[in-house]
Amino acid sequence: TQSQSHGHIVMLPFMAHGHLIPFLALARRIRHLTPFVVTLATTPLNLRYLRSTLSPDNNDSRIHLYELPFCSSDHGLPPDTENTENLPPDRIPALFHSSVSLAAPVERLISDITSKDGRPPLCVISDVFFGWSVDAVRRLGTKSITFTTGGAYGTLAYISLWLHLPHRSTDVEEFSVPGFPERCRFHRSQLHRFIREADPTDEWSKFFQVQLKLSLASDGWFCNSVEEIEPLGFDLLRKYLKLPVWAIGPLVPSHMLQKSSPVSPKSRINSLQKHTGKVPGVSLEKCLDFLNSHRPNSVLYISFGSQNTISPSQMMQLAIGLESSGKPFIWVIRPPLGFNIKGEFRPEWLPPGFKDRVTGSKQGLLVWNWAPQLDILSHDSTGAFLSHCGWNSVMECLSQGVPIIGWPMAAEQAYNAKMMVEEMGLCVELTRGVESRIDAEEVNRVIELVMEEEGKGGEMRKRAKSVMGQMREAMKEGGDDEKGSSVKAMDEFVRTILGDSMNGS
């Protein structure tokens, strides 16, 4: 078989949409750029999601799926809660802890591959949250590679903050973070509640302190980012880890990196569903009709990713600010905090008559729960993205040269926003977190600032376009002189995992 002649790679994503999507995209990059067979292993519900996104044609034939058991009851989780999306935030630590029980089935998978192929897999690529796998896979004779689905700067901040607890001292507003130079001081409001209030014995801290530290001992790190767009982040991360770090991003579908090739709506729907595995709340045609009816760079797209939602009062102020700005927008609406995440839309979340007025005047398009984000971001009419700054959203947005209005909420999002404001100059932060008070006037002011053609908005757009250019350069294939940095990084990864066999050891 191919796997016998070329080698096998096993991949272990954490069970969250924002991790499964880039893991599958990385599997496809490896399939595209190397001759290896990839086995993606995850729990049944997440496997179903991955299966629905794999193409039945030959493109994905070297990507195999393998089911790992989900031991929900061990951690008091109901059976259908295998993905962070199905859990309220305070139950997510249980999902993290349950991942450790995947160790034994992962070891069985590696042993099976070893006996079938006559040699162990070339490496196991594990989520940065699965530090438990590092020793286990090494014991079985294979290399352990960590994949951070975040960027270099944001990942480093996140790790360093978890590994240097606690951060509860109330008298300091600004402080430095180990691994960062003094000029990159952090602010307390950039700490998510779980980090701000962490003490080394709570469930979040116990998990991250152990697992992130173990991941620091792997043989190398993949990062879904681009060397040229965050040079500081990569420099700092490499100094901190003292390991090879391969920037192989942006892990977005290849058609998003080729502006010139028009894609038919039908194949776009297919490619979208293959990428995210979800059916959008409004048809793609409707979104494209809306975007086609507006000028280039004039529409604001608003989405807070796959997990997050805002508070009822924030939602109300955002709606008022949006309407009064008069700017066209597409807004992915979810039940605000305190309401059932799987519940129905309720008009009282928005100002009276808002929905009819903005849809009637074609100012706005409200999309329930899930939007065809890639297609919206790649449309010429999209002029800015009000985003929670989840890293996948950032990569998708910057690969299209679209500036960002940041509203970071959780995980490492505030550090992504910080970098995009301070180092890249293509983001303005509207606010932080779900506890902040925002008023409609501030929403209006920031939208005006970022959507304007000249001034600050124009400058941000120019910077975003230049970053888009760097991202596209990085993915260039060809001879050694033509290859972009992300393609070269994949070559280096291959040399590292083949190192022993090439040296004959």
Examine residue 305 and tell whether it contacts ligand UDP (CB under 6 A): yes
Sole binder of ligand UDP in the list 276, 309, 317, 399 (CB under 6 A): 276
Work out the number of other CB atoms within 10 angstroms of the CB of residue 454. 8
* φ/ψ of residue 20, rounded to 5: -60, -40
x/- letters, 325..344, toward ligand UDP (CB under 6 A) = -------x------------
Of 121 and 383, the one with the shorter C-beta distance to ligand UDP is: 383
- To which H or E segment does residue 97 belong? helix 92-99
**CA-wise closest residue to 447 among 398, 394, 385, 365:** 385
Of 404 and 494, the one with the shorter C-beta distance to ligand UDP is: 404
Q: How many angstroms separate the CA atoms of 408 and 418, rounded?
A: 9
Q: Measured from the CB of residue 451, what is the shortest distance to ligand UDP in angstroms?
A: 21
Q: How many angstroms separate the CA atoms of 10 and 106, rounded?
A: 9
Residues with a catalytic annotation lie at 19, 127
Amino acid at 86: N
Residues in contact with ligand UDP, total (CB under 6 A)?
Answer: 19
Sole binder of ligand UDP in the list 375, 396, 412, 429 (CB under 6 A): 396
Examine residue 393 and tell whether it contacts ligand UDP (CB under 6 A): yes
Sole binder of ligand UDP in the list 240, 391, 407, 415 (CB under 6 A): 391
Q: Which residue is nearest to ligand UDP (CB)?
A: 18
**CA-wise closest residue to 312 among 349, 367, 366, 351:** 349
Tell whether the torsion through CA atoms of 173, 176, 180 and 184 is positive or negative: positive
Work out the angle at residue 161's Cα, subtended by the Cα atoms of residues 76 and 204, and round it to the nearest 5 degrees.
Answer: 5
* Segment 79-88 long-range contacts (CB within 8 Å, at least 24 positions apart): 80/45, 82/15, 82/43, 82/44, 82/45, 82/46, 83/15, 83/16, 83/17, 83/45, 83/46, 83/49, 84/15, 84/16, 84/17, 84/307, 85/16, 85/17, 85/306, 85/307, 88/341
The residue range among 105-113, 118-126, 298-306, 486-494 that interacts with ligand UDP, by the rule CB under 6 A, is 298-306
Q: Measured from the CB of residue 411, what is the shortest distance to ligand UDP in angstroms?
A: 7
Q: Measured from the CB of residue 276, what is the shortest distance to ligand UDP in angstroms?
A: 4
Of 83 and 144, the one with the shorter C-beta distance to ligand UDP is: 83
Examine residue 373 and tell whether it contacts ligand UDP (CB under 6 A): yes
**CA-wise closest residue to 224 among 246, 197, 242, 192:** 246
**Which DSSP category does 218 fall into?**
S
Sole binder of ligand UDP in the list 218, 271, 378, 392 (CB under 6 A): 392
Q: Is 405 helix (H, G, I), strand (E, B) or coil?
A: strand
Q: Measured from the CB of residue 22, what is the shortest distance to ligand UDP in angstroms?
A: 8
Amino acid at 224: N
Work out the number of other CB atoms within 10 angstroms of the CB of residue 445. 15
Of 186 and 304, the one with the shorter C-beta distance to ligand UDP is: 304
The residue range among 47-55, 356-364, 385-393, 455-463 that interacts with ligand UDP, by the rule CB under 6 A, is 385-393
Q: How many angstroms separate the CA atoms of 81 and 92, rounded?
A: 9
Examine residue 249 and tell whether it contacts ligand UDP (CB under 6 A): no
Sole binder of ligand UDP in the list 12, 122, 245, 371 (CB under 6 A): 371
Examine residue 390 and tell whether it contacts ligand UDP (CB under 6 A): yes
Contacts to ligand UDP from residues 8-67, by CB under 6 A:
17-18, 21
Examine residue 148 and tell whether it contacts ligand UDP (CB under 6 A): no
Q: Measured from the CB of residue 504, what is the shortest distance to ligand UDP in angstroms?
A: 42
Q: Measured from the CB of residue 367, what is the shortest distance to ligand UDP in angstroms?
A: 7
**CA-wise closest residue to 146 among 17, 316, 13, 281:** 13
Residues that bind ligand UDP (CB under 6 A): 17-18, 21, 276, 303, 305-308, 332, 370-371, 373-374, 390-393, 396
